[in-house]
Amino acid sequence: MKKVLALTLAAVMVLAFAACSAPAEKEVLTMGTNAAFPPYEMVDENNNIIGIDAEIAAAVAEKLDMELEIKDMAFDSLITAVSSGAIDVALAGMTVTEERKEAVNFSDSYATGIQVVIVTEDSAIASIDDLEGKKIGVQSGTTGDIYCSDTPENGGYGEDAVSRYDNGALAVQALLNGQVDCVVIDNEPAKAFVEANEGLKILDTEFAVEDYAAAIAKENTELLDKFNTALSELKAEGKIDEIVGKYIKAE
Ligand code: GLN
């Protein structure tokens, strides 16, 4: 009987000790993205979301002693998800624009994007000056969509010229099927799509140069400050360059 009691007591003590020394649950940092935008975000063979944005967010979360959770969603629902608090931050190769700034705050920029034009190798389109009257494929809600669907007075081609797709891969598929004459999209995913599909090329002339940043809810200035501090430390440590260099090989 004594022995049983002693054992029970020992077991209780072990459990109590384990409970005390268990690390406190880390606060979760929820990041939203659209994981069809290589090399910034894509899904690997194990169904994990990887890429530049995922690694930058993981490095920031580590600095903030938070646990990163990534949610995949349509690109054009990210701003609403941020402002409604459904996610804490969006990292999605997202361009800083004046219009988006009305709905969310942006962190300091961590990368540059360039809007480029993908055409088929045999295309008659030689530069962006040839886009008039052509069918243009874009990813819905992106800056490529916003520029191209704008009026000709504002440098666009008008609503009717634009076909919208849920992601870049579908827009590229439409180009391969002959449903559109070109796709306007960011340069790094463009390179990845051209590499993955035969018969495509990127025009030399660029459409626009943009800054990528993380979007955070207007009222969450505390997270914005913490995010920017972590980001600037990571930049100073060379960590951002290291992450980018892992996914984008210098030409
Ligand atoms: N940079 C573009 C934008 O912000 C496209 C981003 C994306 O498709 N993930 O609109």
Substitution candidate for ligand 1 out of 79, 140, 143, 165 with most atoms within 8 A of CB: 143
pLDDT at 200: 98
pLDDT at 206: 82
Give me the mean pLDDT over the 76-103 stretch: 97
Distance 186 CA to ligand 1 centre (A): 7
Token readout for 251 is 């030409």
Closest C-alpha among 95, 27, 23, 110 to residue 61: 27
Mean pLDDT in the chain? 92
Do residues 212 and 197 touch, judged by C-beta distance below 8 A? no
Distance 7 CA to ligand 1 centre (A): 61
Look at the chain and count its residues: 251
Q: Among 2-16, 54-68, 116-130, 160-174, where is mean pLDDT lowest?
A: 2-16
pLDDT at 242: 97
More confident residue, 1 or 51: 51
Distance 46 CA to ligand 1 centre (A): 25
207 lines ligand 1 (CB under 6 A): no
224 lines ligand 1 (CB under 6 A): no
Indicate the residue type of 120: T
Task: Name the pLDDT band for 1 (thresholds 50, 70, 90).
Answer: low
Give me the mean pLDDT over the 18-42 stretch: 86
Residue nearest to atom 5 of ligand 1 (CA): 142
Q: Is the pLDDT of residue 186 over 90?
A: yes
Q: Is the pLDDT of residue 12 over 90?
A: no
37 lines ligand 1 (CB under 6 A): yes
Sequence-ordered list of residues with C-beta below 8 angstroms from that of 169, at least 6 positions apart, any chain: 36, 193
Q: SS3 for 98?
A: helix
106 lines ligand 1 (CB under 6 A): no
DSSP letter, residue 23: P
Give me the mean pLDDT over the 102-127 stretch: 96
Distance 95 CA to ligand 1 centre (A): 6
> Between β-strands 182-186 and 49-50, what pairing exists: parallel, antiparallel or unpaired?
unpaired
More confident residue, 59 or 23: 59
pLDDT at 236: 98
pLDDT at 249: 82
Residue entry with tokens 């626009």: 208
Task: Name the pLDDT band for 25 (thresholds 50, 70, 90).
Answer: confident
pLDDT at 24: 72
